[in-house]
Amino acid sequence: MEAADVVIIGGGIVGSSIAWHLTEAGCRSVLVLERETHQGKGSTGKSMGGVRAQFSTAVNIQMSLYSIPFYASFEERLGHPSGYRPQGYLFLATSDAHLKYLRTNYELQVKMGLKDVRLLAAEEIAALFPQLRSDDIVGGSFCSSDGFVDPYSAMVGFMARAAEQGARLLRDTEVTAIQCDARGIAGVESSRGPVATRIVVNAAGPWAAQVAKLADVELPVEPLRRMLVPTEPFADFPHSAPMIIDMSNGFHFRPEALGFLLAWNDPQETPGFKTEFDPAFVEKILTRAANRVPCFENVAVNPKRAWAGLYEMTPDHHPVLGPAAAVPGFFLANGFSGHGVMHAPSTGKILADLILSGKTGLVDARLFSLERFAQGHLLEETAVL
């Protein structure tokens, strides 16, 4: 029977980062099981690829302070491009409440050690981007080291280097059961046969709750569709622009290839495994786009190029990281609520630390425990896009 020290269920960017961090720390017997025929067919390949440190909770800022410099040095560390482009994130405040919120976040971000975040006056924003409708903008927040990565490229880089260091990836392999004995985890059953192991990591993205159930663990993670609309080539807005977020309604966009990538969290969206793009979304998002960027009235969109992906949401929009107390040897890396790509490096580090030594210095891992939901110790992250 096949055996491994650690079995990771899910070969997306989170599972790949955990595999690399484990092998980098000297754990060579790592087996990654990916149910799809190719990596990245889940949420990774459908991500917008944004990375930012402008969060409202200390622990999310800590995760970004590890992850963003990691992406910046990715190529020299792993010999593979991450596609990191530090073009920044610009939050546009359209009310005094928004401004107060950004200032509170800014003070926390600076306190946590973020160096390149600053608050902008309305006049500065209007001067930087005269193409924006700015009559209602009262100020904003900008961080120059925020930006974008290529999630697929980073995932491949993590997995390729992990494989060179002893990890193995089995594609087209579905986990059908998780075995336990008196000591806890004993192995997994898969569509390619059984694997003996004492440690299983659930990195199954939106499918995490179903995987947890195989170990009799209730995990409050549910899938939520997010749709992205790329435009055709468009030259009337600068391609050096950051990710720009309109706080009045959550519409955000960034440069992509010769056009722009448009995103908006439709508040009417309901949870479920909906992976089809809804053509009615195009009009909804273009209305908001043209409202904030009048020249976007002339932007062309081909709905056939638009796509939908799944966020994996938790009740408090923070991930569940670390051991499941009820099942020794079962580890969780789930529920990133849209931040899986940007926090994949720190997640890999935290999980590798917890698996190999039972503790991590990167964050207070207790904050991310599964038990917090039953205990009512929720961490509200309000800066969710």
Q: Residue 304 belongs to a domain with what CATH number?
A: 3.30.9.10
Tokens 């966020």 correspond to 311
Tokens of 335: 């529920």
Residue 75 within any structural domain of the chain = no
Structure tokens at 344: 């994949």
Coil, strand or helix at 356:
helix
3-state helix, strand, coil in the chain (%, to 5): 35, 25, 45
Question: In this structure, is residue 232 part of a structural domain?
Answer: yes
For all residues of the chain together, what is the average pLDDT? 96
Same domain, 332 and 295: no
Task: List beta partners, residue 91.
Answer: 141, 245
Q: Are residues 235 and 305 in the same domain?
A: yes
Choose one of 279, 311, 343: the last residue of a domain. 311
Q: Which of 292, 311, 330 is the last residue of a domain?
A: 311
The pLDDT of residue 45 is 81
Do 256 and 369 belong to one domain? no
Instruction: Give yes or no: residues 122 and 179 share one domain.
Output: no
For residues 92 and 157, the answer to whether their CB atoms sit within 8 Å is: no
Q: Which DSSP state fits 178?
A: E
Q: Are residues 303 and 319 in the same domain?
A: no
Quick count: other Cβ atoms within 10 Å of Cβ 298? Answer: 9
Q: Burial letters for 39-55: b for 16+ Cβ neighbours within 10 Å, e otherwise?
A: bbebbbbbbbbbbbbbb
| 3-class state of residue 199 by DSSP | coil
Cα separations in angstroms, 304 against 230, 284, 289, 307: 10, 16, 19, 8
Nearest to 324 by CA among 207, 189, 158, 178: 178
Q: Kindly state whether residue 40 falls inside one of the protein's structural domains.
A: yes
pLDDT (0 to 100) of residue 282: 97
Q: Quick one: pLDDT at residue 378?
A: 81
> Which of 57, 116, 50 is CA-nearest to residue 252?
50
Residues 291 and 156 in one domain: no
Instruction: Please give the backbone phi and psi of residue 350, each rounded to the nearest 5 degrees, phi first.
Output: -65, -45
CB 215 within 8 A of CB 185: yes
In a domain, 71, yes or no: no
**307 and 229 inside one domain:** yes
CB 168 within 8 A of CB 30: yes
In-domain check, residue 383: no
In one-letter notation, the amino acid at residue 339 is H
Q: Are residues 108 and 207 in the same domain?
A: no
Counting the structural domains of the chain, the total is: 2
* β-strands 330-334, 200-202 pairing: parallel
pLDDT digits (tens, 9 = 90+) for 131-163: 999 999 999 999 999 999 999 999 999 999 999
Question: Is 289 within a domain?
Answer: yes
Asked if 26 and 101 sit in the same domain, the reply is no
Asked if 53 contacts 72 with a C-beta cutoff of 8 angstroms, the reply is no
Between β-strands 89-93 and 139-143, what pairing exists: parallel, antiparallel or unpaired? antiparallel
> Percent of the chain scored above 90 by pLDDT?
94
What's the confidence (pLDDT) of residue 384?
A: 58
Q: Residue 344's domain is classified under what CATH number?
A: 3.50.50.60
Residue range(s) defining the domain that contains residue 261? 85-147+225-311
Instruction: Say whether both 237 and 143 belong to one domain.
Output: yes
Show which of 311, 335, 358 is a domain's final residue.
311
pLDDT tens digit at each of 385 positions of the chain? 899 999 999 999 999 999 999 999 999 999 999 999 888 888 888 889 999 999 999 999 999 999 999 999 999 999 999 999 999 999 999 999 999 999 999 999 999 999 999 999 999 999 999 999 999 999 999 999 999 999 999 999 999 999 999 999 999 999 999 999 999 999 999 999 999 999 999 999 999 999 999 999 999 999 999 999 999 999 999 999 999 999 999 999 999 999 999 999 999 999 999 999 999 999 999 999 999 999 999 999 999 999 999 999 999 999 999 999 999 999 999 999 999 999 999 999 999 999 999 999 999 999 999 999 998 888 776 665 6
Asked if residue 171 and residue 217 are part of one domain, the reply reads yes
Is residue 59 in a domain? no
Q: Is 106 domain-assigned?
A: yes
| Shared domain check, 301 and 254 | yes
